[in-house]
Structure 1
Amino acid sequence: MKKRYGIVFLLLTIYALLAPGAGAGNDPYLASLATGRFEEVDPLVTAVFSMLGVYPLLFAALLLPKDQYRLPAWPFVLASFVTGAFAILPYLFLRGKKAREVPRGPGFLQRAFSSRLYLLLILLLSLAAYIAAGNGSGSAYAEAYTASSLVSVMSVDFLVVIWLARDILRTDWQPPRLWASWIPGIGPALVLLGRSIAPADKSD
């Protein structure tokens, strides 16, 4: 089962090396996105870029309260703020079996990452990205995808983190209404919020 994470990591790495578009030195979108000059790029590009900042927050909520495996999750969660799925895939591949009765870290942090307030923050940030996406253009995004290596890699990375969040929910949390986790950003947060309202089951 864990081999799939290694395979996806390998494929994602190969794609990053061969991705279409200009590299870092000539990438027409890199400077604008890295410095927050979002008005210079299409809103749909900005929305995907922003969602890749939301998913590390989700990974903190998904992984840290369940951090009972041999390999600690927190270094990989921190790294995901910069590298996205490139950090989470190796963790899931290497974490091994559960080796602790309780999760790592202070109890107040576990409660914070599981709190409704934290999950509502993720929902609000996701909604902001959705609003931005509504003003975007599919054709402009396609042009950015072919012109910028950053945009092409982050587009594939975005699809991978959506799958990873759903997969972590399925294996570690086993909640009801798991189908909702396919909805970017909003879905996993709503599934986690729902666990505090309805008892969990193993339905998919």
Structure 2
Amino acid sequence: MVRKITLWLLWAGFIVYAFLLTPERQAASITLLKNLFTLQWAAINPIILSIFALIGILLLIYSCVLFIDGRMQKIPFWPFVAAGAGTGVIGLIPYLALRESNQTFSGDKDAFLKLMDSRWTGVILSLNTLALLAFGWLAGDWGDFVRQFHSSRFVNAMTVAFCLFCVLFPTVLGDDMARRGIKDQPVFWAVALVPLLGPLVYLCLRPPLSVSTDAGVRQASAATLS
């Protein structure tokens, strides 16, 4: 219950912050959004482009965990990831608050769940993330980014949303580890304490989800991670 209340308060607090407390020079945001959606990316600071793209990567990271989780929940995950594609963390947090903790999986994995469960998906996401981080770091103008953070509502809220995506991943990590028979707390903390890259390494190394409930199968799968 404490977890749910905290998530709802965080959700409401972010909405209030994004629409009432972020910088109010909307002309800067309008110009940026126009350039973004008309593909005039050369006019946009690479750091901002990278953060925008990395939020998409983070949604996919959550998808690799929560589409499987949604199979066992009363509510499916797909409406929330669809909302998240348009609103970012505002669309995702309600699912995190409404879902119940669940550490089991039953039924067959269809082609889509196999894709979400595949280590190759984690590898592809990791390579794209490294490319985006290098692009933003090497080609970006950090002084300009700071100025836009303090003048553009969109840049400010997007950056805070990116941080929230990173901070909230541990709320779903424990259940995914349990579904795979991984009980090592050091693994949990190694993933949880390294924003963005920790979850990506986890997706690359986690054992495939087994629909078997046999403890021996689970332990054998968990051993492949270590």
TM-score normalised by structure 1 residue count: 0.85
3-state DSSP class of the match of 2:31? coil
Q: Say yes or no: does 1:62 pair with 2:65.
A: yes
Larger radius of gyration: 2
- Alpha carbons of 1:187 and 1:96: their partners in 2 closer, same or farther (altered >3 Å)? closer
- Alpha carbons of 1:173 and 1:35: their partners in 2 closer, same or farther (altered >3 Å)? farther
Identical counterparts, % of pairs: 24
3-state DSSP class of the match of 1:147? coil
Rounded Cα–Cα distance in structure 2 between residues aligned with 1:167 and 1:24: 36
Equivalent residues in 2 for 1:159-178, closer than 5 Å: 159-173=163-177, 176-178=187-189
State the match for 2:12 in structure 1. 10
CA deviation map 1:157-199 (0-9, x unaligned)? 0011111223221344355153334444332121122222972
Rounded Cα–Cα distance in structure 2 between residues aligned with 1:195 and 1:10: 33
State the match for 2:199 in structure 1. 188
TM-score normalised by structure 2 residue count: 0.78
Rounded Cα–Cα distance in structure 1 between residues aligned with 2:190 and 2:120: 23
- In the alignment of these two chains, the number of paired residues is 199
- Alpha carbons of 1:158 and 1:61: their partners in 2 closer, same or farther (altered >3 Å)? same
Q: Say yes or no: does 1:82 pair with 2:81.
A: no
3-state DSSP class of the match of 1:27? helix
Misfit runs of 4+, over 4 Å: none
Compute the displacement of 1:16 (Å): 1.0
Rounded Cα–Cα distance in structure 1 between residues aligned with 2:63 and 2:164: 16
Q: Say yes or no: does 1:199 pair with 2:210.
A: no
Where structure 1 has 5 or more consecutive residues not aligned to the other structure, the ranges are none
State the match for 1:127 in structure 2. 130
RMSD: 2.6
Compute the displacement of 1:23 (Å): 2.8
3-state DSSP class of the match of 2:169? helix
- Alpha carbons of 1:26 and 1:47: their partners in 2 closer, same or farther (altered >3 Å)? closer
